[in-house]
Amino acid sequence: MGKQSEASRARHVAIIMDGNGRWAKKRALPRAIGHQRGVEAVRELVRNVGGMGLDCLTLYAFSSENWKRPDEEVDDLMNLMRKFIKSDLPEFVANDVRLKIIGDWQGLAPDIVAMLEDALEQTSGGSNTLAVALNYGSQNEIARAAAKAAAIGDVTPEAIAAHLDTADLPPLDLLIRTSGEVRLSNFLLWQSAYAEMLFVDTLWPDFKPAHLQEALDNFAQRERRFGGR
């Protein structure tokens, strides 16, 4: 099955990209190589997602808890981020991709913040959104949104949702986690309220565009009731 009918089409898919470390360990390679291959998987996915009918793909790249990893690994991840933005930005622009960052990304290193600001500006006209979660924690995002809603005296679900980092994105349809772990790890907790969940055993570096297409086909078969019957 390829393109889905409008009713069952997923517009917004989010992925918890997990398993880079285990992918490397299985091959007796350094974790850094696993992360490198993880970036390659991201690149291949972004290159091929155009024909899958999505409006938005959201990727969990660095959580606010990932700072607890050894300094060397955090440095590796930040350097991969720098390289990725530099090398892939022209492709985003050429392919009509709008980059969006969710999370407390202003807290990253100043040079990365500057690169991201430039990338956001250069891609602002794109029509397919690639949202990357950086220094992201869902509870923190909800607390920030609730504080803004309280400041205007309107603490309703609608007002909180309107102040989430994802306020301008379509509702989340499908959340995928790779590597066999079955938990949300502080990712899109609010947005997942009615999302379908898919947990796959594939380690992130092995996750190919065909795996995403398979997940979308699986999604199209599910009956969503949003609390009704």
Active site residues: 18, 66
Name the one range near ligand FPP by CB under 6 A: 34-42, 91-99, 160-168, 189-197. 34-42
| Footprint of ligand FPP on 117-136 (CB under 6 A) | 132
Dihedral pair phi/psi, residue 147, rounded to 5°: -65, -40
Nearer to ligand FPP, 83 or 224 (CB): 83
Least distance (Å) between residue 35 CB and ligand FPP: 5
Sequence-ordered alpha helix ranges (H) in 49-137: 71-94, 110-122
Rounded CA-CA distance 48/211 in Å is: 11
What token pair was written down for 116? 């991201």
Assess 21 for contact with ligand FPP (CB under 6 A).
yes
Assess 35 for contact with ligand FPP (CB under 6 A).
yes
Assess 66 for contact with ligand FPP (CB under 6 A).
yes
Cβ atoms 134, 108 nearer than 8 A: yes
- How many CB atoms neighbour CB 16 within 10 A? 23
Residue among 10, 12, 14, 38 that touches ligand FPP (CB under 6 A): 38
Q: How far apart are the first and last CA of the chain?
A: 27
Residue among 4, 9, 11, 22 that touches ligand FPP (CB under 6 A): 22
Nearer to ligand FPP, 207 or 219 (CB): 207
Nearer to ligand FPP, 39 or 145 (CB): 39
Nearer to ligand FPP, 39 or 200 (CB): 39
Residue among 14, 20, 174, 216 that touches ligand FPP (CB under 6 A): 20
If phi over 0 gives left and psi between -120 and 50 gives alpha, with beta otherwise, what is residue 65? alpha
Name the one range near ligand FPP by CB under 6 A: 2-10, 77-85, 187-195, 206-214. 77-85
Q: Give residue 223's Cα distance to chain centre.
A: 24
Q: Give residue 96's Cα distance to chain centre.
A: 18
Rounded CA-CA distance 185/181 in Å is: 10
User: What are the residues binding ligand FPP (CB under 6 A)?
Assistant: 17-22, 35, 38-39, 42, 59, 61, 66, 77, 80-81, 84, 132, 179, 204
